[in-house]
Structure 1
């Protein structure tokens, strides 16, 4: 059962036969991918403020301590990423931070913005000017918030995590799975290529995992907008009391994901958090965004692997490793008069000439449609 479904008008139901089929899936029921992909990005933590206080998260800072990057700081990071050969500017921040943090709200007002999404639009435009494609993860969003920034993003995302009501989300600022699914639905309605995923080991059970995967699939069947899902294990940190799931658990969850989802949706595991080599035969085909110049600010104790390590992983699996853009190639190839996934602004950036356009086209030449 989806927690918060009624509140957000989420009309997703599950067939018990579908649940049983996924619960029976093992690694032997899926095939290894014939290639692996990754994106080269620069990680930009726009603010460490968040209205939620999830017990497994080290990203947020309490009111009075949260930072907010200035446009000048963002530009410096973006330029550093471009110089390092990146194609993606990954913008992250906590959910509706300006609604809880007075200092963040006041700083945004001083810079001429009435919301964090208005500011996000400015820095996405800045990233495009400097030659990187924005991919934003701003958490839960209303249709109005997402519409404000959709045309300056190549893709967007939010982790579903789980459809279950878990203690890890408890408290006065409880994260609501129904609201997460509503955000994913909004992306479909607006035609935004989207990334979502599961967080494994925060108190959900096996049925919850199956239902979460099926909820994602059902939304994709309606809109066709999910480009990848991330299967991420929780990791120990200074705030977390959760144990990292076993390799056996992760192998089963990844296999369930591959079995639950259509072939065009990639299954990603983060190589800095997961036992990646032991999951490749479970249907993994993407290693996510890897930054050559910035930390994983959401999981600061777990460094990004170097590109050489990704090459070693692929070589050990006996498959090619290909770079991709933050928007999967099928969303570029599928554009037609009836359905256009990318805004004119993003399309012009990808098709532009000069060093920037040549970089994008070089990646597209190497990537595979999915």
Structure 2
């Protein structure tokens, strides 16, 4: 049904009645959340190399310019984050660097790694040693790649973005919705608590948005692993002049996400990219990861708000603000976490006490 589905053996059938029903949803049809949550994290951009060249993305650098954080840099970032009370190390990088990135591959080999996923595993070990829980968002992954790192991550994620074939993904190395869906499916098969989402304003239409949300719901119904769905607007930047969705569009898209997904799945609105105060009645209940230490390296022109600003947002909604871990509480309580993550949370050291304090407040 979706572009690339046959290539990746993705079997997702969307009921037309569900699509039509979702297309009628407006903000007045959903209830505001009873609380807002957020995670305190550090952003660790492992590499800016990416095999894709999406026209809205400022994160990737071309071959010859892409950087790769050293183990020492990773440790410094994680240590600073732990000292500032963070609980999450958010690892990001562009999807598997292809053969054009010879410098990146040479550097990985010099450090003793055959692949970027092997290096991600080493980086996750560093985060745990420094008292943070890893949450990796490394784009599309095969089962082998995800299995390489899943046992050292509290949760993982990838943005679906859209199930549509949009020009913004065009070119010889275009993203495939089928591959994105296969990655989300793989996380379910491996029992990984997962974050995904839609990107609003990259050329998709309302039917595409409805179908994307219903595809996410279908995978969650099979595996129960989707902990949150982000509704993220594309924003103007040096590579994207295709416009930013207006408030009415974001309000309707957010309400559609809330209506499409089970209540237990959180709806996240990123406060540095979206007008969150104007979306509070549209069903959002999470403000995502916010860093007191590092920039949003994917959207460097949009600074994270301070935690005090998040408290102000929650106050405007008349609801409490609660900190959470990168793995949602129900997944931890139900035994989804790998042994290394459980051990880190249950440890008697300062980091373990910090993790449990967040859980105890929930």
TM-score range, shorter chain: over 0.9
Q: How does 1:172-187 map to 2 (within 5 A)?
A: 172-187=172-187
Question: What does 1:22-41 correspond to in 2, within 5 Å?
Answer: 22-41=22-41
Q: Indicate the SS of the match to 1:198.
A: strand
Aligned residue in 1 for 2:64:
64
Deviations 1:135-172 (A, max 9, x none): 00000000000000000000000000000000000000
What is the alpha-carbon distance in structure 2 between the residues aligned to residue 100 and residue 333 of structure 1?
A: 44
Q: 1: CA distance between counterparts of 2:298 and 2:148?
A: 25
Q: Return the TM-score normalized by structure 1.
A: 0.97
User: What CA distance in whole angstroms lies between the structure 1 residues aligned with 2:14 and 2:142?
Assistant: 25
- Matches for 1:285-304 after TM superposition, within 5 Å: 285-304=285-304
The unaligned stretches of length 5 or more in structure 2 are none
**Out of 323, 341, 350, which is 2:345 matched to?**
350
Name the residue aligned to 1:167: 167
Runs (4+) off by over 2 Å: none
The residue correspondences of 1:22-101 to structure 2 (distance < 5 A) are 22-97=22-97, 99-101=99-101
Distance 2:349 2:189 in 1: 34
CA contact (8 A) 1:98 1:116 kept: no
Q: CA deviation at 1:15?
A: 1.1
1:80 touches 1:293 (CA, 8 Å); kept in 2? yes
SS in structure 1 at match of 2:235:
coil
1:10 Cα shift?
A: 0.9
State the secondary structure of the residue aligned to 1:152.
coil
3-state SS of paired residue (2:358):
helix
- Quick one: distance in 2 between partners of 1:48 and 1:107? 14
Q: Secondary structure at the match of 2:121?
A: helix
Residue in structure 2 matching 1:362, options 353, 357, 362: 357
Rounded Cα–Cα distance in structure 1 between residues aligned with 2:323 and 2:360? 10
**Partner of 1:97: helix, strand, or coil?**
coil
Give the structure 1 partner of residue 259 of structure 2. Answer: 259
Cα deviation 1:76-97 (Å, max 9, x = unaligned): 0001101110000000000001
In structure 2, C-alpha distance between the alignment counterparts of 1:50 and 1:37, rounded to whole Å:
31
Q: Is the 8 A contact 1:98 1:115 kept in 2?
A: no
Q: Deviation string for 1:45-72 (max 9, x for gaps)?
A: 0001000000000000000000000000
| CA RMSD, Structure 1 to Structure 2 (Å) | 0.7
Per-residue CA deviation, residues 180-229 of structure 1 (Å, 9 max, x unaligned), is: 00000000000000000000000000000000000000000000000000
TM-score, normalised by the number of residues in structure 2: 0.99
Equivalent position of 1:338 in the other structure? none
Match of 1:316?
A: 316
Shift in Å, 1:98? 5.2
Q: Secondary structure at the match of 1:208?
A: helix
Structure-2 separation of matches of 1:98 and 1:20: 40
Unaligned runs of 5+ in 1: 336-340
Q: Which residue of structure 2 aligns with residue 136 of structure 1?
A: 136
Point out the more displaced range, 95-104 or 215-224.
95-104
2:197 counterpart residue number: 197
> Helix, strand or coil for the counterpart of 1:327?
coil
Query: 1:155 maps to which residue?
Result: 155
* 1:105-148 alpha-carbon deviations (Å, 9 max, x no partner): 00000000000000000010010011000000000000000000
